[in-house]
Structure 1
Amino acid sequence: MASSSLSLRFSFLVALSLALHCAFGAIVCEDLPQDVCAFAISSAGKRCVLEKFVLGDGSTEFQCRTSEVVVEKMTEWIETDECVRLCGVDRNSVGISSDSLMEPQFTAKLCSAECYGNCPNIVDLYFNLAAGEGVFLPELCEIQRTNPRRGMAELLSSGVVAPAPESDASPLAAAPASI
């Protein structure tokens, strides 16, 4: 009898803990203020993004939204102000692209031991952005530490351009001649 009472109490405490976590501890992107939205990860493991909307009167409004990007190893994460500063990112960024990897000052901050070793969320985000460009971030960081100009050249030359469609005749030969 005592063990069933103890088991019932334990089950109640676990259920209460889960209910409290869901009610108070969950990170929902749409509930986050603008100043912590960028570089946050929801309880569902999706990245939060800051979006800009133009209202009917011409004024702009910023809202935090949930993206479809799932972060495999992190949930419920709001990036610290220290990491934002160390990595050289901006919380007011509307959308994030790989373009910043082309800026030597940004890459130097991202690849610094302080950022790369202590800010896994930001590093993961830019790791994936770099991979989308065909660049392996750890290699880019190593090159950046040893020869920053070479790192930028490799990034610039890494873009893959789809080949033009092949045909038997050139487009100029197929076009009617005009006199």
Structure 2
Amino acid sequence: MIFSKLPLSLFMSSLFFHAALGEIVCEELPLDICAFAIASSGKRCLLETSTTNVVKGGGVEYECKTSEVVVKNMVEYIETDKCVKACGLDRKSVGISSDSLLEPQFTVKLCAQDCYQNCPNIVDLYFNLSAAEGVYLPDLCVRQLYNPHRAMEELLSSGAAPGPVAHEPGPVASPTAPTPIN
């Protein structure tokens, strides 16, 4: 009799152990904290529209998914509401995109001290997104501070953002710029 309950006991114990460890699994996160979270696996969580659960009447349902983007040196992290607000973001953001870097109001908030110095997860995300566009985020932030119009022109260019040799004279990085996490 005791041996027949052993598999059930082990299974139940594993569930309690999993819960006790506080492991973050994107698919198990509530939708209101999914965006800007990092799972225990080190992969970013992202909010996606559900392809299987279309709501009657034309509405859309969302689900939290695990992306393939791995964040080095940061796991089991859920961004604070304070950082989301300070950086000009929205928890209802669907997917991961560099599009918001094209909005001057967003770049101002991202580069502001409240975000840039205090929200390493968000800064790391946009550091990598801007790098994929050929833009070095610390340089973009410095340019945003001194010449916002020029910063947007460079970002909108064909990806040929100035490199370390071709950039304008002046500071190349904010003296208080955080070191990227990767």
Q: Which has the higher contact order (CA 8 A, sep 6+)?
A: 2
C-alpha separation in 1, matches of 2:94 and 2:61 = 11
C-alpha separation in 2, matches of 1:151 and 1:60 = 36
Partner of residue 154, structure 2: 154
C-alpha separation in 1, matches of 2:54 and 2:99 = 28
TM-score by length of 2: 0.73
Partner of residue 27, structure 2: 30
* TM-superposition CA deviations, 1:77-134 (whole Å, max 9, x none): 0000000000001110111211111111000000001100000000000001000100
TM-score by length of 1: 0.75
Partner of residue 62, structure 1: 62
Partner of residue 6, structure 2: none
Q: How does 1:1-179 map to 2 (within 5 A)?
A: 22-24=18-20, 25-53=22-50, 54-55=53-54, 57=56, 58-159=58-159
Q: Give the unaligned 5+ runs of structure 2.
A: 1-14, 161-182
Runs of 4+ off more than 4 Å = none
Identity of aligned residues (%): 65
Q: Which has the larger radius of gyration?
A: 1
Q: CA deviation at 1:59?
A: 3.9
Distance 1:136 1:22, change over 3 A: same
C-alpha separation in 2, matches of 1:91 and 1:59 = 18
C-alpha separation in 1, matches of 2:55 and 2:80 = 34
- Give the length in aligned residue pairs: 142
